[in-house]
């Protein structure tokens, strides 16, 4: 499937397609009340209350996470990822559409993960909210695993993930590239409570809050608005994205893909990893003009 973004009308017309797999990627992450306040829960229980027809919960917190990592939502090893995707019924011929019941960030995260291993999923623009607003039916009691034995070929694609060392090299301006934080301006500047070990951002970062990429209904802005919000400097040359845990940054990566910019990598550990190491510098205040 070559589409990056699909709307409700398209998906509703495809619901009975035998190769369609709809994934709900929702995770519940609460706003921090104080520094270091990190509260995260699986979105599976709330998905039982209301979901799209045929949807299956893609568990980013457990099944689709590298359990050996010291930070949340880490990209799992290829064999673990393949096993989890087969349990969701995904094969080489599947048409995968991802949505979430939040703000679009979780759908983008799963989209980036699957793209990085050679799959071509799409995102439902606006997620569950858009589906409901269009008067489409929802169901309770989400479908369980639907394992498949059909072939599933995953191959790591180069350039999708930036290592800690690559981020350091760009931050220290030893390597060309634009380092971009997708968190809010207040979190970037260290002006509000953070979920992470220290306030602020990685030195020499730009700030492009991912929330500004969506309209009030949770849909991605038109391309002209995305270009204005992201800035022309991100549409050329290498871009390294991060946030707190590689989630908001994935929405920025998706928006850049909509604009045809694929020279992008995502720092998986993001501030969860970076801020936890006191040897790594953090900056506060606004980014240089």
At 142 the pLDDT is 67
The pLDDT-based confidence of 97 (bands split at 50, 70, 90) is very high
Question: Would you kindly state where each structural domain of the chain is located, as residue ranges?
Answer: 5-133, 161-274
Backbone angles phi, psi at 165, to 5 degrees: -65, -40
pLDDT above 90: percentage of residues in the chain: 85
Residue 174 DSSP one-character state: S
Residue-wise pLDDT for 274-286, tens only, equals 999 999 999 999 8
What number is the average pLDDT over the span 261-265? Answer: 97
Measure the CA–CA gap between 247 and 220, rounded to whole angstroms.
16
At 289 the pLDDT is 60
At 145 the pLDDT is 60
What number is the average pLDDT over the span 37-50? Answer: 82
What number is the average pLDDT over the span 128-157? Answer: 89
Residue-wise pLDDT for 165-207, tens only, equals 999 999 999 999 999 999 999 999 999 999 999 999 999 999 9
Measure the CA–CA gap between 89 and 147, rounded to whole angstroms.
5
Coil, helix or strand at residue 57:
strand
Nearest to 185 by CA among 212, 167, 213, 218: 212
The pLDDT-based confidence of 143 (bands split at 50, 70, 90) is low
What number is the average pLDDT over the span 239-250? Answer: 97
Encoded tokens for 28 = 């519940």
CATH 3.30.70.1400 at 5-133, yes or no = no
The domains spanning 5-133 and 161-274 adopt the same CATH topology: yes
Measure the CA–CA gap between 2 and 69, rounded to whole angstroms.
32
Q: Evaluate whether 182 touches 249 at the Cβ level (below 8 Å).
A: yes
Backbone angles phi, psi at 123, to 5 degrees: -110, 140
The pLDDT-based confidence of 1 (bands split at 50, 70, 90) is low
At 261 the pLDDT is 97
DSSP string covering 108-165: HHHHHHHHTTT---EEETTHHHHHHHTT---BSS-B------S-----PPTTSEE-HH
- The pairing of strands 27-29 and 40-42 is antiparallel
CATH of domain 161-274: 3.40.250.10
Measure the CA–CA gap between 42 and 53, rounded to whole angstroms.
20
Residue-wise pLDDT for 209-237, tens only, equals 999 999 999 999 999 999 999 999 999 88
Determine the distance from the C-alpha atom of residue 235 to the mean position of all C-alpha atoms in its chain, rounded to a whole number.
19
**Residue 101 scores a pLDDT above 70:** yes
Nearest to 52 by CA among 85, 97, 19: 97
Measure the CA–CA gap between 248 and 201, rounded to whole angstroms.
14
At 272 the pLDDT is 95
């Amino acid at each position: 499937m070559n589409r990056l973004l699909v709307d409700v009308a398209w998906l509703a017309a495809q619901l009975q397609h035998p190769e369609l797999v709809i994934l709900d990627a929702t995770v519940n992450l609460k706003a921090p009340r104080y520094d270091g306040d990190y509260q995260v829960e699986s979105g599976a229980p709330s998905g039982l209350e209301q979901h799209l027809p045929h949807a299956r919960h893609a568990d980013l917190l457990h099944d689709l996470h590298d359990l050996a990592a010291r930070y949340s939502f880490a990209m799992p090893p290829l064999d673990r990822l393949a096993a989890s995707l087969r349990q969701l019924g995904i094969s080489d011929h599947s048409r995968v559409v991802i949505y979430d019941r939040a703000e679009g960030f979780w759908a983008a995260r799963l989209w980036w993960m699957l793209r990085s291993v050679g799959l071509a999923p799409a995102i439902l623009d606006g997620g569950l909210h858009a589906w409901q607003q269009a008067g489409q039916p929802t169901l309770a009691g989400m479908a369980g695993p639907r394992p498949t034995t059909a072939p599933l070929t995953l191959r790591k694609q180069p350039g999708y993930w930036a290592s800690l060392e690559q981020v350091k090299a760009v931050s220290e301006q030893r390597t060309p590239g634009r380092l971009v934080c997708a968190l809010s301006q207040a979190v970037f500047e260290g002006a509000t409570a953070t979920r992470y070990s220290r306030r602020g951002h990685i030195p020499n970062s730009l700030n492009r809050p991912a929330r500004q990429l969506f309209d009030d209904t949770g849909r991605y802005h038109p391309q002209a608005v995305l270009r204005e919000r992201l800035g022309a400097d991100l549409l050329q040359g290498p871009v390294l994205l991060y946030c707190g845990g590689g989630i908001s940054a994935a929405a920025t990566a998706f928006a850049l893909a909509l604009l045809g910019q694929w020279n992008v990598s995502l720092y998986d550990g993001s501030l969860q990893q970076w801020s936890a190491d006191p040897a790594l510098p953090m900056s506060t205040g606004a980014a240089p003009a």
